[in-house]
Chain A
Amino acid sequence: MGKRHWILLGAIVAVIIIAAVLWLFPKERWGTVFSLLLVFGGLVALLLRSLYAKEVERRIIFLFILVAVAAPILFPITFTEKPTAVVQAVFDKIENLPSGSTVLLSFDFDPAMAPEVQPMANAISRHCLEKGHKVIFMSLWATGQALLSQSLSDYILLGFPDKVDGVDYVNIGYKAGNEGVLNVIVSNFEKMFPTDVNSVPLKDIRIFDDIASAKDVDFIMSIGGGMPGPKEWVLFVGDPGDVDVGVGVAAVVAPQMYPYYPAQVIGILGGVKGAAEYEYALKDAYPVFADMDTPGLRMMGPQTLAHIVILSFIVIGNIIYFRGRRERKQ
């Protein structure tokens, strides 16, 4: 058969598939089904092409992953989650603290990590405020303060119109010095943060009435993934000050946090999956949050498809590799 025949055959098969989908599925599922067909059909085509022609251009692979991620964003697939023990531990900690406790949330990340950890930061902030805890927001990254201000005004506080700045929450922002900042606040807040971001002296802020240092805080949650970040909180505040620390981390560093669990950190939220689990637990426990935006859960659709594509890539790549090796041996 010539090349033209193949194209003709392909076109016929495509028409049949399209017709079948249109007939079998309801209208709102068409997008999802087609995008799945596109991705999996593409994978089969890639396998065949790799087996016969070997060379596949890098840019085709790039295009592939773009489609695999973009399609489920346009046509969402949603799943339910079950919080794992490491995530549940953080949720329970915040849940079981008596209302009115002080929680410190540190936004130690930059835009590069934000898609992964911003959802958890938002969910945990909401949880604390809903539970009636007093929240101290801060950041060890300059870019973190900018993200913090943005998410406070655009997302977090929108659901809590009657929370008062300085009484229910306070934003003390960023200070330069990485672990140096932590080394001071573990014994003295005021020395490092004389004011909050709006230049209100700390002594005029009600939350700090009985909080002199990070040791007096009931729970610390560091959300980040770089240096300085969760690890520094454990080393410079959690361990020396004997404070409970929980961490929300970008997936890249999540495995490195496990040696600290559960003695030095009480729980770990790892990557977007951790965020999704937390969001799910939050929605489950609080009907108020039923309509809450859940970026973490939303991201699990594209995430799943992309994982499958990457796994298929590794399998296909290794098939080619072992075939090549066998041929070379012969």
Chain B
Amino acid sequence: MFKRRIPLFILAFVGTLLIVSVFIPPMENLGEDFTLFFDIIAVFAFFLGGGNLVRIHFGKLRRRKKDWGFSIVTLVAFFFMLTIGLLKVSSVGGVWNIPLLGIGDPAAIAASPTTEGSWFQETFNYVINPLQSTMYALLAFFVASASYRAFRAKNREATLLLLAAFIILLGRTPFGMELTRWVPESFSVLQIPNMAIWIMNSPNLAGQRAILIGIGLGVVSMSLRLILGIERSYLGEDRG
């Protein structure tokens, strides 16, 4: 009952209400309020994420699992960031502000957490920013390596794909323009950059639209199944 019926009821109720509020103007406010609830619960989900992280890494630490030393790094980093973020620690030109501990200007509590000089923002600039962007920059290397070792014109489909990719890659650089500058203006569509534009505007648009319609219908039918309680995999139950 509490484990199954109530969640199913909550889901059906909220989902139906949000759909219906689109068609019934007086219910718009209710729809907005429920969306606000959702946004607030989303923050609790961040807390849950943090809590999970702490639990996992404390567990690793306690059981001295492989690489447990690095769990200390994670935990220290987590609590450090949490402290400076929640206390709004900032120092501008040697003046310290920790409004929640009564140090410095009490009005600083109203300041944005990402204001200039806040430690939170500095940690973002010098730790999160380089780390995250470099993680993704690694992919450039893997793309290069894959283009040398894996992207083969194995069959007609892959050949077509690579050809289109070729035109786009050339067309999106000034080099592509230089290559086909000799093509007369009245046949300008045959210049590589224009071919790239045409591919984006026509076949790409068509293909993406077909995919979009497919995925859109998939989302719609999935939402419906969820609301009607047919799909229960989110509860960790069997389907059907």
- Chain A interfacial positions (CB closer than 8 Å to B): 56, 58, 61-62, 64-66, 69, 79-81, 84-85, 110-115, 143, 145-150, 153, 171, 173, 175-178, 180-181, 183-184, 187-188, 191-192, 197-199, 255-256, 258-259, 261, 271, 273, 300, 303-304, 306-311, 313-314, 316-318, 321-322
List B contacts of A56 (CB < 8 A). Answer: 148
Distance A197 CA – B150 CA, assembled complex (angstroms) = 48
B83 within 8 A of A: no
Distance A198 CA – B121 CA, assembled complex (angstroms) = 15
Distance A180 CA – B28 CA, assembled complex (angstroms) = 14
Contact yes or no, A304 B114, CB < 8 A: no
Distance A171 CA – B201 CA, assembled complex (angstroms) = 35
List B contacts of A64 (CB < 8 A). Answer: 144
- Chain B interfacial positions (CB closer than 8 Å to A): 28, 31-32, 35-36, 38-40, 42-43, 46, 110-112, 114-116, 121, 124-125, 128-130, 132-133, 135-136, 140-141, 143-145, 147-153, 162, 165-166, 169-170, 172-175, 197, 200-201, 204-205, 208-209, 212
Contact count A vs B, C-beta below 8 Å:
165
28 contacts between A and B (CB under 8 A): A58-B145, A112-B132, A112-B135, A143-B124, A145-B112, A146-B125, A147-B129, A149-B115, A149-B116, A149-B121, A150-B114, A173-B114, A176-B39, A177-B42, A183-B32, A183-B35, A184-B32, A187-B28, A187-B32, A192-B36, A256-B208, A258-B208, A304-B175, A311-B166, A311-B170, A314-B148, A316-B148, A318-B153
Distance A113 CA – B141 CA, assembled complex (angstroms) = 16
Contact yes or no, B39 A180, CB < 8 A: yes
List A contacts of B43 (CB < 8 A). Answer: 176
Cβ-neighbour of B112 out of A112, A149, A304 (below 8 A): A149
Distance A67 CA – B66 CA, assembled complex (angstroms) = 36
List A contacts of B116 (CB < 8 A). Answer: 149, 153
Contact yes or no, B174 A62, CB < 8 A: no
List B contacts of A318 (CB < 8 A). Answer: 151-153, 162
Contact yes or no, A310 B143, CB < 8 A: yes
